[in-house]
Structure 1
Amino acid sequence: MDVRLLAASAAFALVSSITPGPNNLMLASSGLAFGFRRTLPLLLGVQAGFQCLLLAVAAGLGVVFQRHAEVQWALKLVGAAYLLYLAHGLWRSSSTGSAAMDRPIGFFKAAAFQVLNPKAWMMCLSAVGAYTLAGAAYWPSVWRLVALFFVLGLPSITLWAVFGSAFRAAFQNPETARRVGRALAVVTGASCLLVLL
């Protein structure tokens, strides 16, 4: 095992997991609206869905995705539309004072969303393309990536849910709730531009 490759792939897993993206925005919003405990199914669904996507890309699905630009474009459009839907819900809830969602996003819905999440695809394609080894070492290097994204990715995305939960008390003030909800709506909506670029 190459220590430099391990260090580089660990750094990639950490940085790509902890930076803002659709999953982390959903986790922060859910933590804010429902608290950490009720956000756990969403958190675990995101992690499980991402790990399944990583394995699917490693097994060859990424090749189809790379060869057919129309599939990539369709996924980007659907992912951007879902983000706009979330942004609209956040903006509307900040105007009416209601919760952004009636209930937190569940495990299976969060896991399924990874198929539409452009950042998750980019992370998986980049990780498999850059940090796996050829030949007999291929699958051991894939499993090493899966382990790294679990050990480093899960705590990274958990921070976003904790961050949202930490501000839950301030969210009880209607004016603060309106401002925070609209700020999250704008950031979520703006992330559509990054998805479509």
Structure 2
Amino acid sequence: ATPAPSAWQGAAMQWLNPKAWLAAVAGVGAYTGGEQHLLWLFTWIYGPICFLSVASWAWAGSVIRQYLSNPRHLRLLNRGLAVLLVGSAVYLVI
């Protein structure tokens, strides 16, 4: 079996996240107006918020993994997501 990636490898992969890059660039453009001190303020606010967001997703993933280790729970989740997917496709067609 292949070993799971380390925390450092996961952190390094975040540099390849296009959604994070777009959010950062859009935030800088929207809130700094080209002023240096506003760029630093944005960085000091945005950094911890992003860290807390990623940490929250990681925590939620570990909790959900424990719940989904039960095959019945996993099957229910997959069926529920399938219903939502079909429902959204029907909504788009109508």
TM-score, normalized by the shorter chain, greater than 0.5: yes
Give the C-alpha shift of residue 105 in structure 1. Answer: 4.2
Identity of aligned pairs, percent? 32
- For the residues of structure 1 that align with 2:65 and 2:73, how far apart are their CA atoms? 10
| Aligned partner of 2:27 among 127, 135, 152 | 127
Q: Tell me, what secondary structure is at the counterpart of 1:114?
A: helix
Q: Structure 1 111/104 Cα, relative in aligned 2: closer, same or farther at 3 Å?
A: closer
Describe how 1:59-70 pairs up with structure 2 within 5 A: none
Q: Does 1:164 align with 2:38?
A: no
Alignment of 1:12-161 (within 5 A): 102-107=3-8, 109-134=9-34, 137-138=35-36, 140-161=37-58
1:53-105 per-position Cα deviation (integer Å, ceiling 9, x unaligned): xxxxxxxxxxxxxxxxxxxxxxxxxxxxxxxxxxxxxxxxxxxxx9xx73144
Task: State how far apart, in whole Å, the 2-side matches of 1:115 and 1:175 are.
Answer: 36
Helix, strand or coil for the counterpart of 2:62? helix
Partner secondary structure for residue 167 of structure 1: helix
Which SS does the other structure have where 1:133 is aligned? coil
CA distance in 2, matches of 1:163, 1:105: 18
* Structure 1 residues without counterparts, runs of 5 or longer: 1-97, 184-197
Q: Which has the higher contact order (CA 8 A, sep 6+)?
A: 1
Which residue pairs with 2:90 in the alignment? Answer: none
CA RMSD, aligned part only? 3.1
CA distance in 1, matches of 2:65, 2:15: 30
Larger Rg: 2
Q: CA deviation at 1:174?
A: 2.9
**Structure 2 CA distance for aligned equivalents of residues 106 and 178 of structure 1:** 29
TM-score between the two structures when normalised by the length of structure 2: 0.59
Secondary structure in 2 matching 1:151: helix
